[in-house]
Amino acid sequence: MNFLRTADVDRRRVVALTSLLCLAVLVNSAAAQVAPRSVRSEATQAETFNVQFKHPQLGPTVARFLGSNGNEAAVIGGDNQIQLLKPADLVHTDRTFAFLDKKQLIDVLKAEFPGFQVRNTNRFVYVYNTSEKFYIGTSRILETMYAPLFDYFKRMKIEVHDPDTLLVVLMFATDDQFQKYRRMPSGVVAYYNMLDNRVTMYEHSRLSQVAPEIAMREAISTVAHEGVHQVLANIGVQQRLSPWPIWISEGLAEYFAPTQVTSDVRWMGVGKVNDLRLGSLNRVMYAASGELEAITKGIRGTQAARVGPQKVENEVDKVIEALAGAEGLSATGYACTWGLTHYLAESRKKEFAAFLVECSSLRPLTTLTQDDRVALFTRHFGDDIDKLGRGLTEHVKRLNARKN
């Protein structure tokens, strides 16, 4: 199975605004401007305001300030793409900022991808040169799951809102085209990029030539997973470039992503059992001691931080402890994040809701240390790691019984 993950923020390649058109609509020469006042170089996280910077072609250009870590400032353009700039290059402005409307964004995309089909709905715009079958399957998954995700977080008391622009989904016919657009590690078939705010994928892989049914199942599952990342980053749940713990960022994408391929493709619904992840999780839960040690080491990061004061004896507890402070994940780690998220969302609903509310307040370009991530976890779920381990074990048993 491919190691599927959200594309990391590539600081070596700051994504430029899509075209001069989308920048041009930000410049409001008729608007009054206050005397220039530089953005502070220290972290500025408490407010969002408009800034102006000098674009090499267009001159003074308006964007919205999102946050700064002192060395870099994140600003968002009218096409909903983020640029990372030097704080000293930005000045406060009272000039008007506006996101592109549907027509403007579609015009930009048509210019960027000549020869591609461009179709939009109320929330998404699909840019593709794939087969119609692949486009239909992809759009069906994304359109079906949007409203249930929105309602789920609204019930969690998170202040959700519809996206500021149409959500862009790029679909290439082949891996070569996909890699030409942006080089990705081998095996990645789709990703969501927090800077350009696009989900990007391709249709025809080597696996599709050998085992087309398996390839379709994996592709559709990945579409749902990356689509969840995109939706959460645009409705006010997960602020882009904010330091969410990896286990909950990926765990939610897995929790919301179960799909099914029969005569057609469909999204199964919030919290439905992910058969693929349950199978992997069973192998973790019932693995021998030596195997579990390798699994916990595979959940990348520094040495696992202690969640509770007691010595961890149970092997499942070690997995939870590793996840709480993890900086990254192995392929098996994704199954573990799904299991932990499913358990907490279903069995610790009140604590889980409060945890998500706090995560949603994390600002762009801030940081969490491993100790910070563990403290965030224990603040809501406690430090009794043995109790958590027993709860997760019983929950997995119930999922297996439900499936059978």
Between 45 and 19, the more confident residue is 45
Which residue from 379, 282, 387 is spatially nearest to 336, judged by alpha carbons?
282
Do both 106 and 211 map to the same domain?
yes
Q: Is the pLDDT of residue 217 over 50?
A: yes
Is the pLDDT higher at 267 or at 52? Answer: 52
Instruction: Enter the tokens of residue 302.
Output: 């520094």
Are residues 196 and 141 located together in one domain of the fold? yes
Q: Helices 315-324 and 370-381: crossing angle, nearest 10°?
A: 120
Whether residue 230 sits in one domain with residue 184? yes
Distance from C-alpha of 305 to C-alpha of 90, rounded to nearest angstrom? 39
Judgement on whether residues 281 and 318 belong to the same structural domain of the protein? yes
Amino acid 371: pLDDT: 94
- The whole-model pTM stands at 0.84
In Å, how far are 52, 71, 279, 330, 343 from 274, measured between CA atoms?
46, 41, 9, 18, 13
Residues 87 and 125 in one domain: no
Residue 222 domain-assigned?
A: yes
Phi, psi at 54, each rounded to 5°: -90, 115
In this structure, are 180 and 293 located in the same domain?
no
CA–CA dist 347, 339 (Å, integer) = 12
Q: How far is CA 85 from CA 23, 74, 361, in A?
A: 15, 7, 23
In a domain, 251, yes or no: no
With contact defined as beta carbons under 8 Å apart, do 340 and 285 qualify?
no
For residue 315, how many C-alpha atoms fall within 13 Å in the half-sphere facing its CB? 15
Distance CA 86, CA 89 (A): 5
Q: Are residues 386 and 297 in the same domain?
A: yes
362 is a domain residue: yes
Is 33 buried (19+), middle (13-18) or exposed (0-12) by CB count in 10 A? middle
Q: What is the CA radius of gyration of the chain?
A: 22
* Confidence band, pLDDT 50/70/90 cuts, at residue 55: confident
Q: Which residues span the domain enclosing 215?
A: 102-237
pLDDT for the residue 19: 33
Mean of the pLDDT values across residues 68-82?
Answer: 92
State how many domains the chain has: 3
Residue 3 lies in a domain: no
CATH number for 216: 3.40.30.160
| One domain for residues 231 and 117 | yes
- Asked if the structure places residue 270 within a domain, the reply is no
Q: Kindly state the DSSP code that residue 220 receives in the 8-state scheme.
A: H
Same domain for 75 and 122? no
Q: Are residues 134 and 218 in the same domain?
A: yes
Confidence of residue 306 (pLDDT cuts 50, 70, 90): low
- Mean predicted lDDT score pLDDT of the chain: 81
Q: Are residues 138 and 174 in the same domain?
A: yes
Mapped onto helix, strand or coil, the DSSP state of residue 71 is coil
For 262-280, the pLDDT digits (tens) are 656 778 888 888 887 888 8
CB 396, CB 282: distance < 8 Å: yes
- Residue 397 tokens read as 């048993």
Same domain, 283 and 201: no
